[in-house]
Amino acid sequence: MPSEQSEAVKRHWAALRLAGPQDAEVADDAWGGLTAEPRQVDYIETDAGGVPAMWAVPKRSSEQHVLLCIHGGGFVGGSKYSHRKMFGHLAKATGARALIFDYRLAPGHVHPAQVDDATAVYRWLLGEGISAERVAFAGDSCGGGLSITTQLRAREQGLPLPAAALPFSPWVDMEAVGESYETNRQKDAFFTRDGVRELAGAFLGEGGDPRDPMANPLYADLSGLGPIYIQTAGDEVLLDDARRLDEHARKAGVDVRLDVFPGMQHTFQMAAGRAPEADDAIRRMADWVRPRLGL
């Protein structure tokens, strides 16, 4: 049975369903309110190779270990501000700094603008002297997808790959063909197959290919990627995105773990500091990634 605090996430998504899947302003205003302010975390704005960014710096965190955090929002919304507190909780639990950035949004900027921006930030981070083996990518929803495709772009450009990736409630299937769109249709408080396809269309642009491996990693060669820890919610229609990513990565020989949280909604981790389920998920991510970063 979900806690009352996690039920607030369900109410959040139900309210956004009334606003519509592309009402980014409403979503941005509501997201931040779900997350408690993490204690002893400072936020410092910066320019990451021309991309607006923000450091989340917990007290006593390692300066040489970084979580490169990619916000969700269906490619049409979200920002470093809407997600700073959630990623601040993850950084604090991990003992590393987090770098959160604003990639260009659809529909004004279509694919591959988002993966190009994320790769530019990663390149900048490496240029600042941070070793790839001390970097993990983390992202929710479409940011979870970008945590995979950014590695593919980095590999394409000859950059060293990060130590690990933490996609949670990942949206990776731009075709929206998973069975969970039907099996969880009455449980998911916000997403529908049609709504996700609308967002995918805004992201891909006119004539965009939903099977482009840089947009849909289910069609990419994932061999050689570092360990991946996927979290997903049992009641979200994107459940099969996580399951299929897990299966696809395993077939490519990637070390991958998948945790499904029963009764939870999409990106329930946004309730960090308020909901016990979100805090448990953050703790699991931190416990998993620390040894892979050498912490």
Is residue 260 helix, strand or coil?
A: strand
71, 83, 89, 266: which one is catalytic?
A: 266
Tell me whether residue 236 is one of the annotated catalytic residues. Answer: yes
Q: For residue 185, what are the contacts with CB-CB under 8 A and spacing of at least 6?
A: 192, 237
61, 79, 236, 277: which one is catalytic?
A: 236
DSSP state of 223: T
Is residue 232 helix, strand or coil?
A: strand
The sheet carrying 51-58 orders its strands as 41-48, 51-58, 96-101, 62-70, 135-140, 164-168, 228-233, 256-261
61, 141, 147, 180: which one is catalytic?
A: 141
Radius of gyration from C-alpha coordinates of the chain: 17
Contact status, residue 103 vs residue 70, Cβ threshold 8 Å: yes
Contact status, residue 38 vs residue 57, Cβ threshold 8 Å: no
Tell me whether residue 37 is one of the annotated catalytic residues. Answer: no
Tell me whether residue 111 is one of the annotated catalytic residues. Answer: no
Contact status, residue 148 vs residue 165, Cβ threshold 8 Å: yes
Q: Classify residue 63 as exposed, middle or buried by CB count within 10 Å of its CB (0-12, 13-18, 19+).
A: exposed
d(CA 193, CA 177): 8
Which residues are catalytic, by number? 141, 236, 266
